[in-house]
Structure 1
Amino acid sequence: EDGPTDVVFAGGLTGGQSVINNYPYNFDPLGLSEKFPFMLPWFREAELKHGRVAMLGFVGLLAPEVLTLPGLDALAPECSLAGAGGELRVVEAHDACAAEALPVLGVSPLMLLLLAAGAIEVVTSVMKLDPRWGGLTVKNAGDYPMRKELGGLLRQLPKDDTAMVVLQLQELKHGRLAMISFS
């Protein structure tokens, strides 16, 4: 029978709803949400992290086309537009920054980025595993206990649960689009 159902997909996670009301939106070709329901928080955490990185990466993909940071020419001339006579584009900049070590540090800029990302991943994963932070749940996947450090920034988040779900859904959709765009 083709009709509306009350199927709850992936534990009712935000973003599992269909654009057509009451129709299941079960894009899970491997059936991971049914086979490993205890892993749903980790799946959501990974989706949010990858989406956020892809959104930042897409901006980073476009940024070299329009701006150059002051001092980059002196520090890493091979990674700047001026160092290539204004002809360097994103792919060439990536290749140059991956291959050339910074004279001061002896490692490439992309290696520094990899080390920084790895450090952030370790810190956030340890925080999620630590019971003092509440552990990782479907509800807190992607959130980090830094409210005091961020100060007024988080005061902008909606207090209303419905508005918060809409905001979370927007972040998911933007992240999914960025992952597709960046790839």
Structure 2
Amino acid sequence: MVAARLLAVASILPATAAVLTLPRKSQALPWLSAPAYLQELPGNADFDPLRLGSASPALLKYYREAELKHGRLAMLAAIGWPASELWDKALADTFGIDSALTSKLEAPSVLNGGLDRISPAFWGAALGFGAAIELYGLKLRLEDRAEPLEPGNLQFDPLGMYPVERARRKRMDEAEVKHGRIAMLAVVGYAAEEYLLGTPVAVHSSGFFEPFWAHFFHV
């Protein structure tokens, strides 16, 4: 009797083990298995349906580096775009120079036009600044280190805001990735809205760019 029970338990164990080792499902696409190579990345939602990052760890780090760079630029642009539409004309008048905004008071862009009115000196300075940051990042990665730098790490934290604790660092890394992704979508939205609506984003989304009480005391 005891032997029969032991045999029954033994027959159940392989099936139980198989259930416990089922592949984890993707958070973003639940009908697909979660890619194991994304598991440790901040901001990971298991979204890589084309398996673009599966070729090698080095390629995955390159993709993450590119995402962080684009996200950081997009966060600056998400602020700078509406800020230029709100303040450029007033600042230009103050300093007695021509405003860089278009005739519709939109920020210069590929779709809005007006980029030809921007001084070549600005483009040269922007290119030089970007190249300097890239060269600095490359220098850091070519240095001999006990542990390689994480993607996007430029050893730049003058205010000491990056936490020491691993859990808090992970939260901050997650926050940067998520904010960068939202900013990239926002900048694309700015360009599309201004092209389709023909008005500055600071006007057709004015609720985001003026005090909330202005809606109650608007004349």
Normalised by the length of structure 2, the TM-score is 0.58
Q: Does 1:181 align with 2:196?
A: no
Query: Quick one: distance in 1 between partners of 2:148 and 2:81?
Result: 32
Structure 2 gap ranges (5+):
1-18, 26-33, 189-219
Q: Where do 1:109-124 residues align within 5 Å?
A: 109-124=122-137
Q: Which residue does 1:38 correspond to in 2?
A: 58
Whether the 8 Å CA contact 1:58–1:178 is kept in 2: the answer is: yes
Tell me the matched-pair count. 157
Q: Does 1:90 align with 2:107?
A: yes
Structure 1 residue aligned with 2:49? 29
Percent pairwise identity:
26
Judged with a 3 Å threshold, the aligned counterparts in structure 2 of structure 1 residues 69 and 126 are, in CA distance, closer, same or farther, namely farther
Output the aligned Cα RMSD.
Answer: 3.3
Summarize the Cα distance change of 1:77–1:135 in structure 2 as closer, same or farther, 3 Å threshold.
farther
Partner Cα distance (1:92, 1:43) in 2: 26
| 2-structure distance, mates of 1:133, 1:127 | 9
Aligned to 1:127: 140
Partners of 1:114 and 1:76 lie apart in 2 by: 23
- Show the counterpart of 2:116: 99
Instruction: Name 1:77's counterpart in structure 2.
Output: 98
| C-alpha spacing 1:111/1:95, structure 2 compared with 1 (3 Å) | farther
SS of the residue 1:28 aligns to: coil
User: Secondary structure of the equivalent of 1:144?
Assistant: coil
> Displacement of 1:42 after TM fit?
1.6
Q: Tell me the SS of whatever aligns to 2:88.
A: coil
Correspondence for 1:157 among 154, 162, 168: 162
Deviation at 1:5, TM superposition (A): 2.4
Q: Which runs of 5+ in 1 are unaligned?
A: 19-24
1: CA distance between counterparts of 2:113 and 2:89? 18
Structure 1 equivalent of residue 6 of structure 2: none
Name the structure 1 match of 2:38: 10
Structure ID, larger Rg: 2
Q: Do the aligned partners of 2:54 and 2:60 also contact (CA within 8 Å) in 1?
A: no
What SS does the corresponding residue of 1:145 show, helix, strand or coil? coil
Could you tell me the TM-score, scaled by structure 1's length? Answer: 0.68
Residues in 2 aligned to 1:171 and 1:124: alpha-carbon distance in whole angstroms: 18
Q: Distance in 1 between the 2:59 and 2:175 partners?
A: 23
Shift of 1:125: 2.4
